Structure 1
Amino acid sequence: MSDLVDRLADRRVVICAGSGGVGKTTTSAAIAMGLAAQGARVCVVTIDPARRLADALGIEQLGSEPRRVDDARFAGHGLVMNGQLWAMMLDPKKTFDELIARLAPDEATRDEILENRIYRELSSAVAGSQEFTAVAKLYDLERSGRFDVIVLDTPPSRNALDFLDAPDRLTGFLEGRALRVLLAPSGLAARVVGRGTSVVFSVLGRLTGVDLLNDLKVFFAALSVVLDGFRERASGVKELLADPATTFLIVTSPEREPVAEAVFFRDKLREAGMPFGGLIVNRVHPLAAEEPPGSDATAAVPGLEPALARKALKTLAEFRALAARDAAAIAGLRDAVGDDDPILIPHLDGDVHDLDGLVLVHRHLFATGKERAELLNEAAF
């Protein structure tokens, strides 16, 4: 079996993608934890609003800047942090504001944009695209040189497609015809903007006391100053996503819809020429090589009353049916995704919501091929 350590060797950016509800946030955290244990300075970035990552790491609250996780938290779990583990939760609006501040040529232009009421409304809408702000923060963290590896937990996979397209979509918006007209109207557009719009906004100004036309003029004039910076940033982000030091891990479960999402996203990675690091399948019911004992329930489950023994065998049969389904799904995934040796994590008791669960997931992820086979065999039905 191929080890995760080998797959992530020399990678500076690890992007975990997949549909919602498959353990992607937990997987991202466990990967970051494992890399930090091996000696790397690692930052895991989540956009998960449910705060599962903060809870699992024992941090009361994650902010928009990386926060180091106390090494002592892992001591009681047999995990020694030879490196450093940092974590942060993405704040889309703040990230977009920081980008404007960084691209503005001077403090006056920065303040003019950030304090403009049109910008405040528009930035909230643009920042609502978590995909763009995620790659913007990823770019800044990678460029900062503070970390050896950055692990990013992305939105669910259909939105993760938007994640791949985020640089082009931002550039397309900034270079779009409608925005160009507003930035530098000419001809008929200039007459419409200059006459009709000014009359409407003049009336609104008298009624509301808000000079919207002036706000628009100030906003678009200031925005034009940072357009080149946006274009350069979009280009840099595209290069980072396609860089050989970046890798995408697709996280899924054996259920039908997540499997379809995983195949869909793998196809999009191929089309975009993005680096694929492998498949991680969570919540697998491993199938034992041998069938359970026969129909004699009392003999099959010694010491149990016949009725209870029959229920136990029925439950076992149901689990084996799930295991057979999972085995078929994984076989199909191997062919469709192009990973002959996906990393399989068995279905664990209960939801992973604390450090104990996180360490258990880490154990499966970072086991050697032989160790993983033994762990799966122990969990088999």
Structure 2
Amino acid sequence: MATKTPTLDLAALLTDDQTRIVVCCGAGGVGKTTTAAALGVWAAEHGRRVVVLTIDPARRLAQSLGLSELDNTPRPVKGIDESAGGSLDAMMLDMKRTFDEVVELHATPDKAAQILANPFYQAVSSSFAGTQEYMAMEKLGQLRAEADRTGRWDLVVVDTPPSRSALDFLDAPKRLGSFLDGRFIRLLAAPAKAGGRAGFKVFSVGVSMVSGTLAKVLGGDLLRDVQTFVAALDTMFGGFRERADVTYALLKDPQTAFVVVAAPERDALREASFFAGRLDEEGMPLAGLVVNRIQRVAAPSLSASRAWAAAEQLAEGDAPTTSAATTEGLLRLHAALAQAAARQEGLVSRFTAGHTGIPLVEVPAAAEDIHDLTGLRAIAAALTSGR
């Protein structure tokens, strides 16, 4: 006898005061941002004080949240029904500004000025692989700390970066921390720290050869920028890894809930499977899976094969009329949609067969892009319907 897949009850999750952080994660392009925004709207209109951290939302969705321009500061969302006592703030992650804030907070003013002006820092803070994921973690930690300190929010909803792989969100912060905290980059810094001839006396002949080779490969100016950057940042090295560890501990807390978002496509569901397994390995609390953009058909009892057959019969008629042509077109459209729905149902069924304990909720495909609070409320209704 097949095991019934449990239903993901997001309404209960969002109204539970013990839920303090909801992380929407998954591969890129599966609707994480819309899901995070919809959950934030629903929770706020049901009494929670919510802040949503979004990552690069579509322009019209950003406008619906009052975020028409990039802003690293949480701001109130207008149009929210606050009769239940809730509120909603939203912000878009400014990756470089968040990195600058970390430097300004953890370095002296003189050191901070040196770091912020350094060309290598400017490159790392803007485009180094993993920086966006790391800074999303930094900002999550900051928001939770402010919530604990001021009571401004009792729920933080996080939209993770649109990574190629869902696992990048968990892996990239460690990669960046290891890079900035690693022995190799400290080796590059040694000449700048020691200064002049004294610095090179510290090096063995082998290390001097490595440094000379790097200077040829990277260029002397870039190597000096790296050395200067690391020397200025030396007092902050441990902090990167320590804060990543603190945020990891926060993500493992029972007050955190991961919602894995996927589309009914093979690659997206494979990513969801990998991510669910990783969360289990890391001991992080998985609430369940949201499958977005599920195709629904108006007449589910009419199979695709029967619709195709009826359309072919009309097409072969002796005297096709306008009405018959219209009916034929509708039957063909229904057949295509029914085929898509059956394919999606098969993919989701295979996922649930391999993950029988993971709660799941399906969200029907929207007729148009979600670009206002009305659309977000419709998505939220599907997310919290328990069906």
Shorter-chain TM-score tier: 0.7 to 0.9
Per-residue CA shift, 1:152-187, capped at 9, x if unaligned? 111235443121023421332133231121234643
Give the CA deviation at 1:95. 0.6
Say yes or no: does 1:144 pair with 2:176.
no
Give the CA deviation at 1:350. 1.5
Aligned mates of 2:328, 2:259 — CA distance in 1: 42
Aligned mates of 1:118, 1:309 — CA distance in 2: 64
**TM-score in terms of structure 2 length:** 0.79
What corresponds to 2:290 in structure 1?
280
What corresponds to 1:171 in structure 2?
177
Give the CA deviation at 1:17. 1.2
Give the CA deviation at 1:16. 0.8
What corresponds to 1:235 in structure 2?
245
Say yes or no: does 1:319 pair with 2:337.
yes
What corresponds to 1:219 in structure 2?
229
Say yes or no: does 1:345 pair with 2:347.
no
The alignment partner of 2:53 has SS state of strand
What corresponds to 1:96 in structure 2?
99
What corresponds to 2:53 in structure 1?
45
**TM-score in terms of structure 1 length:** 0.81
Per-residue CA shift, 1:193-220, capped at 9, x if unaligned? 89959x99xx97xxxxx8974x555432
Aligned residues: 352
Pairwise mapping of residues 68-217 of structure 1 onto structure 2 (< 5 A)?
A: 68-70=76-78, 73-74=79-80, 80=83, 82-104=85-107, 106-126=108-128, 129-145=131-147, 146-156=152-162, 158-184=164-190, 186-188=202-204, 192=208, 213=224, 217=227
Aligned mates of 1:113, 1:307 — CA distance in 2: 69
Aligned mates of 1:155, 1:194 — CA distance in 2: 36
- Structure 2 stretches of 5 or more lacking a match? 1-6, 192-201, 315-320
Say yes or no: does 1:258 pair with 2:264.
no
Say yes or no: does 1:28 pair with 2:39.
no
Give the CA deviation at 1:236. 0.7
Aligned mates of 2:274, 2:38 — CA distance in 1: 25
Give the CA deviation at 1:335. 2.5
Percent identity, aligned pairs only, is: 42
Per-residue CA shift, 1:291-330, capped at 9, x if unaligned? 368877899xxx9833322332232222222221122122
AA aligned to 1:221 is A
Give the CA deviation at 1:348. 1.7
Counterparts in 2 of 1:190 and 1:85: CA distance versus 1, 3 Å: farther
Per-residue CA shift, 1:314-362, capped at 9, x if unaligned? 3222222222112212211222344554111112211212222212111
Aligned mates of 1:229, 1:319 — CA distance in 2: 53
- Structure 1 stretches of 5 or more lacking a match? 205-209, 373-381
Per-residue CA shift, 1:237-273, capped at 9, x if unaligned? 2211222211211111212222222222222222333
Counterparts in 2 of 1:309 and 1:122: CA distance versus 1, 3 Å: closer
Aligned mates of 1:125, 1:52 — CA distance in 2: 26
**Stretch deviating more after TM superposition (275-284 or 174-183):** 174-183
Aligned mates of 1:87, 1:13 — CA distance in 2: 14
Give the CA deviation at 1:277. 1.0
Does the Cα contact within 8 Å between 2:22 and 2:257 map onto a contact in 1?
A: yes
Per-residue CA shift, 1:21-69, capped at 9, x if unaligned? 2222111100011111111111111121643531232443240111111
